[in-house]
């Protein structure tokens, strides 16, 4: 050991009898004891950890999305850009998680699949709130959460709130674009559908980037997020197909069929449409 290494170690704190440790701060005891397997199969640990890690990343996505919506509402677009860029990077982490889960083979999964009962990723309430924050509102999924009044209330609030696209459209109106008035005070529980006035506004933004630089950046940040979400959905669908084929999902959904169907949905339709018309 060199003299420098010896001196460095002398300065390391070792007495934590009355101090907070790294493990204390992160509550690692609780976190690392939360992987309770229902079977004795080796690969169930992989299955649990992948989904738990994804839920943690989704918690951070929601933290950033809600803050970005608030920042856009307040006109602080630069702060929103930072948050949305972070969301895109988090999404990349979740996308790559499917690469790890896809090492689970069909033969391995069927050894413990029945132990899951009706539990399914389809029931992920955080994923639903991400969809709500991006404008994908589906009323039937709310029934899944009725048994938990506190959670149901939280989801209902998110369901009734404007999406990030709703607040982006309001920014277009504030910038002087002629936006359909019915969009500015609409029922936010309704699924958003493409509107010609919004398409024309975004088209003008893209044709005069210098004048509308902030709105242009906002549009591209939104495209980044939708692009990544669709990549996540695609990797989800292919991983499910690889592991269980076209079986019905444990939660009762059509499995691969459902996952293929949602790939057709567009969160920010005009931002994709204008690319054809520029």
Q: Which residues are part of a known binding site? A: 47-51, 109, 113, 236, 250
Annotated binding-site residue numbers for substrate: 47-51, 109, 113, 250
Three-class secondary structure of residue 171 per DSSP: helix
Annotated binding-site residue numbers for heme: 236
Q: Quick one: tokens of 235?
A: 């990797």
d(CA 200, CA 179): 9
Sign of the C-alpha dihedral computed for residues 210, 212, 214 and 218 taken in this order: negative
Pair 194, 270: CB distance under 8 Å = yes
d(CA 241, CA 111): 17
Q: What is the 3-state secondary structure (H, E, C) of 91-152?
A: HHHHHHHHHHHCCCCHHHHCCCHHHHCCCCHHHCHHHHHHHHHHCCCCHHHHHHHCCCHHHH
Task: State the number of CA atoms in the 13 A half-sphere of 160 facing the CB.
Answer: 6
Instruction: Give the residue among 240, 258, 262 at the shortest CA–CA distance from 47.
Output: 240
Pair 54, 94: CB distance under 8 Å = yes
């Amino acid at each position: 050991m060199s003299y420098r290494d010896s001196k460095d170690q002398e300065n390391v704190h070792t007495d934590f009898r009355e101090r907070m440790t790294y493990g204390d701060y992160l509550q690692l005891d609780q976190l690392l004891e939360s992987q309770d397997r229902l079977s004795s199969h080796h690969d169930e640990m992989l299955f649990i950890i992948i989904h738990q890690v994804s839920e943690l990343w989704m918690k951070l996505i929601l933290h950033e999305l809600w803050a970005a919506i608030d920042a856009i509402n307040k006109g602080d677009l630069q702060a929103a850009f930072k948050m949305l860029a972070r969301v895109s990077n988090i999404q990349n982490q979740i996308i790559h998680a499917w690469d790890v889960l896809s090492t689970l083979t069909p033969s391995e999964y069927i050894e413990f699949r029945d132990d899951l009962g009706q539990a399914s990723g389809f029931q992920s309430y955080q994923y639903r709130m991400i969809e709500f924050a991006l404008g994908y509102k589906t009323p039937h999924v709310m029934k899944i959460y009725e048994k938990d009044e506190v959670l149901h209330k939280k989801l209902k609030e998110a369901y009734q709130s404007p999406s990030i696209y709703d607040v982006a459209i309001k920014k277009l109106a504030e910038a002087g674009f002629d936006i359909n008035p019915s969009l500015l005070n609409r029922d936010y529980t309704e699924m958003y559908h493409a509107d010609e006035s919004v398409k024309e506004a975004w088209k003008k933004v893209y044709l005069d980037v210098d004048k509308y630089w902030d709105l242009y950046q906002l549009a591209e940040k939104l495209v980044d997020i939708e692009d990544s979400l669709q990549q996540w959905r695609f990797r989800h669908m292919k991983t499910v197909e690889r592991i269980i084929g076209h079986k019905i999902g444990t939660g009762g959904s059509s499995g691969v069929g459902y996952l293929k169907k949602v790939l057709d949905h567009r969160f920010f339709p005009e931002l994709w449409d204008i690319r054809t018309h520029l």
